[in-house]
Structure 1
Amino acid sequence: MSDHQDTLQNLGRRLFLRNTAMTSAAGVAGASLIGGLGGASLLSSRHAEAASANGVNIAPGELDEYYGFWSGGHSGEVRVLGVPSMRELMRIPVFNTDSATGWGITNESRRILGDSARFLNGDSHHPHISMTDGRYDGKYLFINDKANTRVARIRLDVMKTDRITTIPNVQAIHGLRLQKVPHTKYVFCNGELPIPQVNDGRDLDSPEDYWTMFNAVDAESMDVAWQVIVDGNLDNTDADYTGRFVGATCYNSEKGMTLAETMRNERDWVVVFDVEAIEAAVSAGDYKTLGDSSVPVLDGRKGSAFTRYIPVPKNPHGLNTTPDGKYFIANGKLSPTVTIIAIDKLPDLFNDNIEPRDTVVGEPELGLGPLHTTFDGRGNGYTTLFIDSQVAKWNIEDAIRHYNGEDVTYLRQKLDVHYQPGHNHASLTESRDADGKWLVVLSKFSKDRFLPVGPLRPENDQLIDISGEEMKLIHDGPTYAEPHDCILVRADQINPLKVWQRDDPFFADTVAMAKADGVNLEQESKVIRDGNKVRVYMTSIAPTFGLTEFRVKQGDEVTVVVTNLDRVEDLTHGFCVVNHGVQMEIGPQQTASVTFTADRAGVHWYYCNWFCHAMHMEMTGRMLVEPA
């Protein structure tokens, strides 16, 4: 590493660009652009003034108090927002292909995607952050893909997906939550749609032989630890604060194959799983496997020691645990009620000392279409009412007293939201630290809230201040392709790296390949030919690649490995080969690689596609492809 680079190591990108721009005529334009920020700040200050009038004042250059992680819905990604400003900070590709970063294109990302790299779609739903002793530890974020039955893990130090697991024996992973204590050992996830077991063409026309499963994924290895077969289907889920119990809603106890069939029963249920009993059975070898999968499968259908089925009003949806660890809240959807289940009664239920409905200690009526409940840590729940387009604030203990016959009012307020809200999420609400400051409501329709953009309209995320006695709507924000759910964590609970570590496991396989080829990635740029396989190693340091040309033969399989030697924070390089569908991001001190076929003879330029320097446009090179 040069002395110049050591000097720049602790400089920010803006200062680096300003200084380098002054060394060339092109830098005049760069300096003017940076100087032009003063004019832009006038607009920003007006916006900040307007926001301040609504109770939010995050001025330009100021940082938000919370990170918000939004599921990207049908895009298959995760979006990172600052809260309360609601400014989008980053998009993390997960189940999608992303040309900006090269996700789904680079060798590193395709190794993580594994066999599922063949899928071009994803439907990400429920983002949740790992915990230690019921508090967010900022290590991982997990999210599910309903479309292709996958669960992914994102490392929050680099904001990159590092593992993706396909769940066997089930279809459509929907509800996902994490074990809270003593730490996130398991990621719990529900298979929503029943299928034949084994699903190899047998029992196609016998829905009575369709089943689904509750699944536990080891949070560190990302292997599926065990599965539990259940009656009916599974929707949403959440875990308690003892580490023993997990609850999940079932909206199709009938195992109906049509809409009408799923609505026959007057009650469906919440399934409660005894994790300790399941672990003991797995440890004792008391399980079976199905098909080609080696995952332990246990029978949790009615009568099992591993489960209990608590009847609740028909077609429930969300299942949420109160921050004090006392209750599961099951949301009615087709009933105007939510059901309060006392977690401290569950040991007696599993000992058969009480009946399943004896665990229900409240069933307040809130309005039409309750879907999800979140909490402020002060004893209040906030429930979205899909049909009423409202959020209902209600007091949990007063609802229990009312259920016991006392003449008390549990409803505190109803606030109109726009329109048809699904998930909602309050700051720190899934942890012991729920602080009752902000509530995000994710509404499925926007209708007249924004400028019209054709038949496909944006959806609407709304920010609500819940710090006082009354909820106050602060912000409307259009969003694309059903973000579905989000989670809010204090900014100090996340500690992202500013520059990649050279020994990072994210690109360890690529480093090992270079070592086998005898290449020092930090010092060398060279071409290795192995038959018709060519490996091109090059460094990048603003504003040049280590190789400005390389030569291959038509039909060669070409792997390009780029190592970014810059140490300057935010100084990302890119590598793009024109007309080859090859593009990737290489962050400071990162190594990235991509493999493609040089199928056309001729001159093919490559260039840096992430702006990195005043001479960025000149950061190019040529791939010279000789005819076969």
Structure 2
Amino acid sequence: MSDKNDHIKDLGRRHFLRNSAITGVAGASLAGGFGAGAMMGSRPAEAAANNEHHVGPGELDEYYGFWSGGHSGEVRILGIPSMRELLRIPVFNVDSATGWGITNESKRVLGENAPRNGDTHHPKVSYTDARYDGRYCFINDKLNTRVARIRLDIMRADKIVTIPNVQSIHGLTLQRVPRTERVYAAGEMIIPLGNNVQHMDDPSEYWTMMTCLDADTMEIKWQAIVDGNLDNCDTDYSEKYVAASCYNSSRGMTLPEMMGPERDWTVIFNVPAIEQAIANGESTTVGDSAVPVVDAREQAHSGRNPFALYVPTPRSPHGVNTMPPEGKYCVVSGKLSPTCTVIEWSRVDAWFDGSLDDPRDTVVAEPEVGLGPLHTTFDNRGNAYTSLFLDSQVVKWNVEDAIRAYNGDEVNYIRDRIDVHYNIGHIKASLACSRDVDGKYLAALSKFSKDRFLPVGPMHAENDQLIDISGQQMTLIHDGPTYAEPHDALMIRADQLNPSQTYTRDDPYFAETVAMARADGVDLETANTVIRDGNKVRVYMTSVAPNFGLTEFRVKQGDEVTVVVTNLDNIADVSHGFAMVNHGINFEIHPQQTSSATFIADRPGVHWYYCSWFCHALHMEMSGRMLVEPA
């Protein structure tokens, strides 16, 4: 017999986090009330009644999903719509399965003394003509102020760059046309220029910057100083602009100070103007960095700022998203306002041309959508979908109708709502950052799961949900836990990615190791030998299932040993690992790959190594001995 108060308990669970969050921001007036956001009651999400989204055993998904791994420091690859996790790509972290952060090849990418952790936020896949081209995925590290590039043929990072003059890269976005040549990285935390002690106690001298990198070389092209804390960012569908939300426009140091203004800014950078000024020698440098810097602060220019447009935007703006497929509008979500701000890119042109005097004239709509709007994504039918953190909902609204309402027409622009569990952060529809936007699926990344799954101690899972948005109403089709903490995601069609099944022998990823072998007179594809150079020993061996080319090698106590293994198998999925017992060494060697690791043989005796990736019926026998003679 059910408890007559069950419905009250359910209600309490559903609204606990929402009410707590509202209490937490009670000091911030959510100006404007609920308006259109309250016109429709929330509809409980229900699983699809049919089986059209099921991906059976052996069947392939329609999309690749790129999920940030948050403070794991990685990027995750999911199949969509199955939501099956296919791969974890280590980027800023150490990964004992693959040897990332252990092998010499990965250490060259990471940098020898770089931190071995990170906080990944915004994965972005490269474009050609605003369509995903499958070359690279870029990802930021908010924790250690870095940007990484991942090669999507081998799913491994090949470049990691530390950004000077700023702290905490949060927003990350890419040039869309004609191809991705520029990567934009928004610095969040404000610090004194050069971060010297002269202004350490004077927050009025704290600033941050937008950084532009060359996507092909990963060299830093320029930086622009701005007011306030930069947050998320996105580009238009030309080569001209990158827009970033900017909270804490008062440049406060405490929470009350940061939440002070009723409006902060959307800052829109004029890329051609910045790069022309640098070409003309009208730039400077900051601290020890040689990167060209322009001053795009509002206060640094009398009259019209040639480098940046500051659009007043309610309140503590967060998500910035350009609407596909033409890229006509940009939608900015205000965390502490129930509104989204719609900016028309052609009006940004007009402001920089001098045709508009008021930055607010670039705004064409400000729909009220609900409590705690964070991020917006789109379908191919003119609709926007905004995540509501406090309401634990996704709201669907029509952009053109919102513009009509802003101009005084009596029109309801809200199309639908769906509950998500709980307190949603990022949101992304299939292909929604490209011209190919198709309006099929929407991923909802909820920050809390609370009571949705079996408890596993104080740390609770987060909850990824997949929603079918192909019809008039949104329908929940997947609900499942995820490891902390995905911040953002995107989906590209499976045919837009062509990952390699095996390595090629001329892959630049291990080119330095090949050069080392050549200097030693070693052919990696045939040699199984030991080269001694003083107390430095280089051990070269091949692997073919189920054998290593060397089943023993001998070194002396205290030797610096570098083991280089080349996998001669040429069959997809026949991977090997090299694990040296009690030495902290384990790394992957996929077909035709060369990998290496260096360690000190500091303990005399017998030390076994073995293949750590199951490769053959005799996998357990694939092993060998390192014999360490006493010093």
The corresponding residue for 1:315 is 316
Counterparts of residues 527-606 of structure 1 (less than 5 Å):
527-606=530-609
Question: How many pairs does the alignment contain?
Answer: 578
The corresponding residue for 1:269 is 265
The corresponding residue for 1:72 is 69
1:411 aligns with 2:408: no
Residue 284 of structure 1, CA deviation: 1.9
The corresponding residue for 2:498 is 495
Of 243, 246, 252, the residue aligned with 1:250 is: 246
1:105 aligns with 2:76: no
**How many angstroms apart in 1 are the aligned matches of 2:202 and 2:147?**
29
Residue 54 of structure 1, CA deviation: 5.2
Residue 51 of structure 1, CA deviation: 8.2
1:457 aligns with 2:454: no
**How many angstroms apart in 2 are the aligned matches of 1:180 and 1:51?**
35
**How many angstroms apart in 2 are the aligned matches of 1:281 and 1:377?**
38
Of 219, 230, 255, the residue aligned with 1:223 is: 219
The corresponding residue for 2:331 is 329
Counterparts of residues 122-137 of structure 1 (less than 5 Å):
122-137=118-133
**What percentage of residue pairs aligned between the two structures are identical?**
67
**Paired letter, 2:237:** Y
The corresponding residue for 1:238 is 234
Counterparts of residues 49-448 of structure 1 (less than 5 Å):
53=50, 55-115=52-112, 117=114, 119-302=115-298, 303=301, 304-323=305-324, 324-354=326-356, 355-448=358-451
Taking structure 2 as the reference length, what is the TM-score of the superposition? 0.91
SS at match of 1:234: strand
Change (3 A) 1:201 1:115: farther
* Contact 2:77–2:87 (8 Å) recurs in 1: yes
**How many angstroms apart in 2 are the aligned matches of 1:305 and 1:605?**
65
| Residues 552-608 of structure 1 deviation map (CA, whole Å, 9 limit, x = unaligned) | 111111000000000011100000100000110000000000000111111111000
SS at match of 2:121: coil
| Residues 375-429 of structure 1 deviation map (CA, whole Å, 9 limit, x = unaligned) | 0021000000000000000000000000000111100011100000000000000
Gapped runs of 5+ residues in structure 2?
1-46
**How many angstroms apart in 2 are the aligned matches of 1:186 and 1:563?**
35
Residue 233 of structure 1, CA deviation: 1.4
**How many angstroms apart in 2 are the aligned matches of 1:469 and 1:257?**
45
Residue 505 of structure 1, CA deviation: 0.3
* Contact 1:51–1:57 (8 Å) recurs in 2: no
**Paired letter, 1:349:** W
| Residues 149-170 of structure 1 deviation map (CA, whole Å, 9 limit, x = unaligned) | 0000000011111110000000
**How many angstroms apart in 2 are the aligned matches of 1:489 and 1:358?**
35
SS at match of 2:586: strand
**How many angstroms apart in 2 are the aligned matches of 1:481 and 1:414?**
26
**Paired letter, 2:516:** M
* Contact 2:186–2:210 (8 Å) recurs in 1: yes
| Residues 55-78 of structure 1 deviation map (CA, whole Å, 9 limit, x = unaligned) | 422110000000001000110001
* Contact 2:539–2:561 (8 Å) recurs in 1: yes
Residue 115 of structure 1, CA deviation: 4.6
Residue 352 of structure 1, CA deviation: 2.9
* Contact 2:193–2:207 (8 Å) recurs in 1: yes
**How many angstroms apart in 2 are the aligned matches of 1:295 and 1:596?**
36
**How many angstroms apart in 1 are the aligned matches of 2:112 and 2:592?**
28
**RMSD of aligned residue pairs (Cα, Å):** 1.0
**How many angstroms apart in 2 are the aligned matches of 1:197 and 1:266?**
27
Change (3 A) 1:448 1:54: farther
Taking structure 1 as the reference length, what is the TM-score of the superposition? 0.91
Residue 266 of structure 1, CA deviation: 1.1
**How many angstroms apart in 2 are the aligned matches of 1:116 and 1:138?**
31
| Residues 198-233 of structure 1 deviation map (CA, whole Å, 9 limit, x = unaligned) | 113231101111110001111010111110000111
**Bigger shift: 346-355 or 421-430?**
346-355
**How many angstroms apart in 2 are the aligned matches of 1:511 and 1:149?**
31
* Contact 2:246–2:316 (8 Å) recurs in 1: yes
**How many angstroms apart in 1 are the aligned matches of 2:198 and 2:606?**
54
The corresponding residue for 1:7 is none
Residue 283 of structure 1, CA deviation: 1.7
| Residues 88-125 of structure 1 deviation map (CA, whole Å, 9 limit, x = unaligned) | 001000010000000000000000001553x1321000
Q: What stretches of structure 1 move > 6 A for 4+ residues in a row?
A: none
**How many angstroms apart in 2 are the aligned matches of 1:287 and 1:66?**
44
Of 604, 617, 622, the residue aligned with 1:619 is: 622
**Bigger shift: 352-361 or 511-520?**
352-361
**How many angstroms apart in 2 are the aligned matches of 1:386 and 1:173?**
22
**Paired letter, 1:550:** F
**How many angstroms apart in 1 are the aligned matches of 2:221 and 2:382?**
35
**How many angstroms apart in 2 are the aligned matches of 1:418 and 1:55?**
23
**How many angstroms apart in 2 are the aligned matches of 1:199 and 1:83?**
44
**Paired letter, 1:328:** C
**Paired letter, 1:484:** H
**How many angstroms apart in 2 are the aligned matches of 1:54 and 1:248?**
41
Of 494, 504, 507, the residue aligned with 1:504 is: 507
SS at match of 2:254: coil
SS at match of 1:236: strand
**How many angstroms apart in 1 are the aligned matches of 2:492 and 2:418?**
24
* Contact 1:81–1:88 (8 Å) recurs in 2: yes
* Contact 2:222–2:292 (8 Å) recurs in 1: yes
**How many angstroms apart in 2 are the aligned matches of 1:537 and 1:185?**
39
* Contact 2:440–2:469 (8 Å) recurs in 1: yes
**How many angstroms apart in 2 are the aligned matches of 1:104 and 1:320?**
34
* Contact 1:54–1:474 (8 Å) recurs in 2: no
Counterparts of residues 21-40 of structure 1 (less than 5 Å):
none
**Paired letter, 1:372:** H
| Residues 255-294 of structure 1 deviation map (CA, whole Å, 9 limit, x = unaligned) | 1111010011111010000111111112222211112211
**Paired letter, 2:509:** F
The corresponding residue for 1:523 is 526
**Bigger shift: 282-291 or 332-341?**
282-291
**How many angstroms apart in 1 are the aligned matches of 2:98 and 2:414?**
48
**Bigger shift: 349-358 or 545-554?**
349-358
